[in-house]
Amino acid sequence: MIKVRLMQKVMESNDAVAAENARKLRDAAVFSVDMMSAPGSGKTTILERTLDALIPALTIGVIQGDVDTTRDAERVQARGAQTVQINTGGACHLDAPAVAGALEDLDLDALDLLVIENVGNLICPTGFALGAHERVMVLSVTEGADKPEKYPAMFRSCSLALVNKTDLLPVLGLDLEAFAEEIARVNPDMQILPVSALTGEGMEDWYQWLRDRMAEGQ
């Protein structure tokens, strides 16, 4: 009988590929964002509006990981983003090798910004680093303010929360404060920007956040 001690992180090989992705993006001076959320919280709608606001001043690429159809990819491609769809085959998360493959299909030297729309899921994508500079969480107010406490690991892995669908706050009888408090309880360092991708309210702050982070990277 042989005992073998490994003490190896399960994510080690994914993390190695993620580091390679990050290096590629940095070498090409592309700022990148991994967008996470529950299904339907408004990632694609936020992306559409963002593309409308920032193209052509910026050249933007999008990697679409959100499950089985190409509908989201078509929505963003129509707005002038270089778009690659990852067919996850129903998988619940993107991983670094899938993103590495997608990077091959993008003209990175031409891009200023790359947005990865991860699979809509508050659990599975958490541990899978992709190599993006920042992770951004989209939490829509219709999901309720208890999500941070229920999915702390995901919230703790992201640096910014876009609290979306603020246009619905009056209908729901909720206020933003409740969301801000719940988020701070699981990730006190998380920055919070309230937005409505429908009305455009607050979106300028998000664009400015992107511009600031891109400028820091230069």
Partner 1 sequence: MHEFSLMGEVLEVVRDSAREQGIRRVHRIQMTVGALGCVFPPALEQAFGILRDGDALFADATLEIEERPVRVHCNACGWSAEGADARFLCVECGANAVEVMSGEELTIDGYEGE
Ligand X SMILES: Nc1nc2c(ncn2[C@@H]2O[C@H](COP(=O)(O)OP(=O)(O)O)[C@@H](O)[C@H]2O)c(=O)[nH]1
**Where along the sequence are the contacts to ligand X (CB under 6 A)?**
37, 39-45, 66, 120, 164-165, 167-168, 196-198
Q: Using the rule CB under 5 A, which residue among 32, 41, 44, 187 binds Mg ion?
A: 44
**Would you count residue 215 as binding partner 1 (CB under 8 A)?**
no
Total interface residues for partner 1 by CB under 8 A: 34
Long-range contacts of 172-181 (CB under 8 A, 24+ apart): 172/141, 172/142, 174/141, 174/145, 176/141, 178/145, 179/139, 179/141, 179/145, 181/145
95 contacts which partner out of partner 1, ligand X, Mg ion, none, CB within 5 to 8 A by kind? Answer: partner 1
| 3-class state of residue 47 by DSSP | helix
Q: In the stretch 22-61, what mask flags binding to partner 1 with x, by CB under 8 A?
A: ----------------------------------------
**Would you count residue 5 as binding partner 1 (CB under 8 A)?**
yes
Buried b (16+ CB within 10 A) or exposed e, 186-200: bbeebebbbbbbeee
Could you tell me whether strands 60-64 and 113-117 are parallel, antiparallel, or unpaired per DSSP bridges? parallel
Distance from chain centroid for Cα 28: 20
Cβ proximity to ligand X: between 88 and 164 the closer is 164
Cβ proximity to partner 1: between 48 and 95 the closer is 95
* Cα–Cα–Cα angle for 117, 161, 40, rounded to 5 degrees: 50
**Would you count residue 4 as binding partner 1 (CB under 8 A)?**
yes
Cβ proximity to ligand X: between 90 and 188 the closer is 90
| 3-class state of residue 65 by DSSP | coil
Q: Using the rule CB under 8 A, which residue among 31, 128, 179, 206 binds partner 1?
A: 128
Distance set, CA 156 to CA 3, 117, 133, 174 (Å)? 36, 18, 15, 23
Cβ proximity to partner 1: between 128 and 206 the closer is 128
Distance CA 45, CA 162 (A): 12
Cβ proximity to partner 1: between 171 and 184 the closer is 184
Amino acid identity, position 115: V
**Would you count residue 177 as binding partner 1 (CB under 8 A)?**
no
In this structure, is the dihedral angle defined by the CA atoms of residues 137, 14, 65 and 82, taken in order, positive or negative?
Answer: positive
**Would you count residue 72 as binding Mg ion (CB under 5 A)?**
yes
For Mg ion, the binding residues in 153-212 under the rule CB under 5 A are none
In the complex, the residues that contact Mg ion under the rule CB under 5 A are 43-44, 66, 72
